[in-house]
Chains A and B, each alone.
Chain A
């Protein structure tokens, strides 16, 4: 099935829930949904579009909202599901019931952006060290790392 056929089928299946569908390049389909429709869209992709393989989940700090992209790959194309959640109350439903392999990626966006993923089976930190202060989210644009003074052993003071 070519990309245009898949886009038509998606429009038919999702109807008004698909806020935006774009096909900017060969084998790249970008689909936007609201957070409430996320699990339904992912289930549909897994069952009817052969997208059981989740490549990764990317988070992005877009000022007023956090944009989160779920990258799926099927043997003929790749479909990327985009959703946005407001900065003041970032919450997303977990898709681990549908795609068990998504747990590590959801843990990562939780700790990097502070997005709360509801229903995640294992909400511990993934990458940040044990002594990292709570409530500090490194990938947000308004957080800048301040490098401490460096002491060069044996060097000029």
Chain B
């Protein structure tokens, strides 16, 4: 006897409105279906009518959390089309902002994961520390989100000695705090028990369904665009790919915290070795006909832009594939055999561009057709209560 539960699109969650339909037998989900399209804005069509510079601002607003990653991926591609070599200092500043964005995004996600698992104090602590990164970004670029620091040929703002010192100071504080969170998350038995074993995605499925980013890396697939296809400064920096073997939400938390620590290392290297020189070179108005594929490692996975030019000052085609889209088939797999109460956690674990707070779930009785509205917060509380009463899993060890 199975029910179908629709979830979304309205929820005070910050995620893009999305509609999920789960078929459930009792408490176990047997099938999940995702309806996209609530957030479809027709950006690729608008991009064909704007010129190369206007499209930087359009590309930034594809997503609010990884806005710099879309803008940078686009600008990388256009610079290749126009055969420009931006100066080294400009490139260092651009990728410094990229790593700071990765820090802000992972901290955001950690807070959200804590909230979905019922650990609200963790959420508040992490977001308080995230404000340090937001202040650094505002100091460097002028805005907390949508930095607009990219220009075709380099960056728009420079970094002086005082700002460099502030960045190093901020990163040192964050490093201490992140290590505290690593220990906290690792030794807090109720938190670990809540997230271990939830949302399993085996290694073979992760490869077959083309999962990308920390979702795939937590299943042992060691692919990272910064190592495979190093663009600009990444072949001069010293960092590791972070993976985990547990294939569940615990693995994803571990991978993201480890990536935070790697990002701090990279930020320090970039600030210390910032080369002198110009920050941008002049870009032509028109691009020669050609095509380019630009890949970038966004905080959520691989971001790919395909740009084709036809000799005018507008792109002929701009195709964007954001990383979360690539993780949707993997999410459907993860939801199967999960419990209803784990839905918010599993969905949040792929870091779907943001996810927080509650959703209203309507339970449709397949036989009678009556609807009862259940709040996701109730489901979450039920899940937390169930986990408290269950014996703590003996093998929930922190795979450090």
In whole angstroms, how far apart are the Cα atoms of A128 and B319 in the complex? 16
A39 part of interface (Cβ distance < 8 Å): no
Query: Across the interface, which residues of B come within 8 angstroms of A125, CB to CB?
Result: 37
Given contacts A100-B209, A128-B37, contact A139 B302 (CB under 8 A): no
Determine whether A129 belongs to the interface, using a CB cutoff of 8 Å to chain B.
yes
Known: A27-B229, A104-B329. A138 touches B45 (CB 8 A): yes
A30 to B326, CA, bound (A): 22
Convert B45-86 into 0s and 1s, putting 1 for each residue whose CB lies closer than 8 angstroms to a CB of A. 100000000000000000000000000000000001000000
Option from A52, A60, A73 in Cβ contact (under 8 Å) with B208: A52
- Residues in A neighbouring B208, C-beta threshold 8 A: 52, 99-101
**Which residues of A sit under 8 angstroms from B319, Cβ to Cβ?**
56, 58-60
B127 at interface by CB-CB < 8 Å: no
Contact A127 B37 (CB under 8 A): yes
CB < 8 Å neighbour of A76 from B228, B302, B308: B228
Chain A residues with CB below 8 A from B330, complex form:
101
B325 to chain A, nearest CB (A): 6
CB-based nearest A residue for B48:
A141
Q: Determine whether the beta carbon of A28 is less than 8 Å from that of B293.
A: yes
User: Are A69 and B306 CB-contacts (below 8 A) given A52-B207, A53-B223, A127-B37?
Assistant: yes
* Cα–Cα distance between A53 and B212 once the two chains are bound (Å): 9
The size of the chain B interface, using a CB distance under 8 A, is: 33
State whether B44 touches A139 (Cβ < 8 A). yes
Within 8 A of B (CB), among A96-123: 99-105
Contacting pair A100 B329 (CB below 8 A): yes
Cβ of A126 within 8 Å of any chain B Cβ, yes or no, is yes
Residues of A within 8 A of B306 (CB): 56, 58, 69, 71
Q: Which residue of B lies closest to A52 (CB)?
A: B207
Q: Which of B171-209 contact A (CB under 8 A)?
A: 207-209
Secondary structure call for the B interface: mixed
Give Cα A125 to B38, complex, Å.
12
Q: In whole angstroms, what is the CA distance A135 to B227 when docked?
A: 43
Contacts of B398 in A (CB 8 A): none
Task: Tell me the bound Cα distance from A80 to B306 in angstroms.
Answer: 11
Whether the pair A129, B37 counts as a contact (CB closer than 8 A) is yes
State whether the Cβ of A47 lies closer than 8 Å to any Cβ in chain B.
no
Interfacial chain A residues near B37, Cβ < 8 Å: 125-129
The reply to whether A78 and B308 contact each other, CB–CB distance below 8 Å, is no
Judge if A55 is at the interface, Cβ distance under 8 Å.
Answer: yes
B295 at the binding interface (Cβ < 8 Å):
yes
> Complex formed: what's the CA distance from A56 to B325 in Å?
10
* Total interface residues in chain A, CB < 8 Å: 35
CA–CA, A52 and B208, complex, Å? 7
Which residue from chain B places its CB closest to the CB of A111 in the assembled complex? B37
Pairwise interchain contact B210-A78, C-beta atoms closer than 8 A: no
**Whole-angstrom CA separation of A138 from B290 in the bound complex:** 23
For the complex, is A54 an interface residue (Cβ under 8 Å from B)? yes
Residues facing A in B278-299 (CB within 8 A) are 290, 292-293, 295
Q: What is the CB-to-nearest-CB distance from A102 to chain B, in angstroms, rounded to a whole number?
A: 8
Scan B355-375; emit 1 where CB is below 8 A from any A CB, else 0.
000000000000000000000
53-79 of chain A: CB within 8 A of chain B: 53-56, 58-61, 69, 71, 73, 75-76, 78
CA separation between A81 and B273, bound complex, in Å? Answer: 40
Q: With an 8 A cutoff between CB atoms, is A48 at the interface?
A: no
Is there an interface contact between A101 and B228, defined as CB atoms closer than 8 Å? no
Assembled-state Cα–Cα distance A52/B306 (Å): 19
**Which A residues touch B316, using CB under 8 A?**
60
Chain A minimum-CB-distance residue to B39: A127
Interface centre among A56, A102, A128, A138 (most CB of B within 10 A): A56
Residues of B within 8 A of A59 (CB): 319
Question: With A and B bound together, what is the CA distance between A78 and B228 in angstroms?
Answer: 10
A138 close to B209 (CB less than 8 A)? no
In the bound complex, what is the Cα–Cα distance between A21 and B362 (angstroms)? Answer: 53
Contact B223 A104 (CB under 8 A): no
CA distance A128 to B44 in the complex (A): 13
Q: Are A60 and B317 in contact, with the CB atoms below 8 A?
A: yes
Q: Does A25 contact B (CB under 8 A)?
A: yes
Distance of A138 Cα from B44 Cα, bound (Å): 10
Give the distance to chain A from B304, nearest Cβ to Cβ, in Å: 5
Q: How far is the CB of B19 from chain A (nearest CB, A)?
A: 11
Which B299-325 residues sit within 8 Å CB-CB of chain A? Answer: 302, 304, 306, 308, 316-317, 319, 321, 325
Q: Does B147 contact A (CB under 8 A)?
A: no
B304: chain A residues at CB < 8 Å are: 55-56, 71
- The contact sample of 11 A-B pairs, CB cut-off 8 A, is A27-B229, A53-B212, A54-B210, A58-B319, A73-B223, A75-B228, A78-B229, A100-B329, A101-B210, A103-B329, A145-B42
| Sample of 6 more A-B contacts, CB < 8 Å, known A76-B228, A127-B37 | A25-B80, A58-B306, A60-B316, A102-B210, A104-B328, A138-B42
B residues apposed to A, CB below 8 Å: 36-37, 40, 42, 44-45, 80, 207-212, 223, 228-229, 290, 292-293, 295, 302, 304, 306, 308, 316-317, 319, 321, 325-326, 328-330
